[in-house]
Amino acid sequence: VVTLLTDYGPGSEHVGALHLTIASLLPGADRIDLAHDLPPGEVRYAAVVLARLAAVLPGAVHLAVVDPGVGTPRRGAAVALRGGGALVGPDNGLLGPAARALGAVGAVALAVPPEAPSTFHGRDVFAPAAARIADGADPAALGEPYDPAEIVVPDLPEPAVAPGRIRAMALGTDRFGNLELLAAAGDLAAAGLADGERLTVRAAGGVHDALLGRTFADVAVGDLLVHLDSHGLLAVAVNGGSAAAVLAVAPGAPVTVERRA
């Protein structure tokens, strides 16, 4: 099994090229598309998505490419995982959370073929490495080993928590406009916030009333819901609408959720 996660865009020829490369080296491999609509170049969000999806199949080879620095000296890596699988992609922060969550037991800096163009390491470096590892190759045979402790971890700031108040980084949004924040159940508990509380949400797009609830129907259509999403992260949603549009925050920007007086 080889999984694929990129910011190439769904249905793009770049995704097709990864599939073809893997299929040509490893006919019959089960190739699973994890996500291709990730925001271009947003390494942090992609790193969080990779970590949670890879955890479902820890024994697979996970090919991930969000690589705004392709062609610069950043390492391309293959990371061997405790569970038998591997991560393959640029070592620019993308692999860090998954490597920590799944346990990195080895890392190699992948060699770049001298004739490869400087702009498509997904096709020319990472997909071939993923196919070879899925075919049983030892990652150590594909490049220079390095200490897995050196794998780059992205800057994912802890939320600032005070009584009745959480200030967290906006991570990203999905097609439904759900805005995911870098905070979790423990932060809600630490802030003393409980289900059913009336909240205020502050972001670039202004100040909005919200409810701390469990599902979209807990609020009226058009109203804001703050909830723990299906990945255990704090998220803002609008029932039948888009929190991303209402709050108008870019990935990386701060959002404050606090008890309404």
Residues that bind its own copies (CB under 8 A): 1, 3, 5, 7-17, 19-21, 23-24, 27-28, 30, 32-38, 40-41, 49, 53, 56-57, 68-72, 117-120, 123-124, 174-176, 214-217, 227-230, 232, 240
Which positions ≥6 away from 144 have C-beta within 8 Å? 108, 109, 111
Comparison of 231 and 259: residue with beta carbon closer to its own copies: 231
Secondary structure (3-state) at 67: coil
- 164: which 2 tokens? 């009745």
Which positions ≥6 away from 215 have C-beta within 8 Å? 225, 227
Q: Are 83 and 130 in contact (CB under 8 A)?
A: no
Residue 196: CB minimum distance to its own copies, A: 14
Residue 61: CB minimum distance to its own copies, A: 13
Residue 117: CB minimum distance to its own copies, A: 4
Distance CA 45, CA 95 (A): 11
Comparison of 49 and 81: residue with beta carbon closer to its own copies: 49
- 136: which 2 tokens? 């049983």
Comparison of 38 and 255: residue with beta carbon closer to its own copies: 38
Comparison of 95 and 107: residue with beta carbon closer to its own copies: 95
Residue 177: CB minimum distance to its own copies, A: 9
Residue 40 phi, psi dihedral angles, 5° rounding? -55, 125
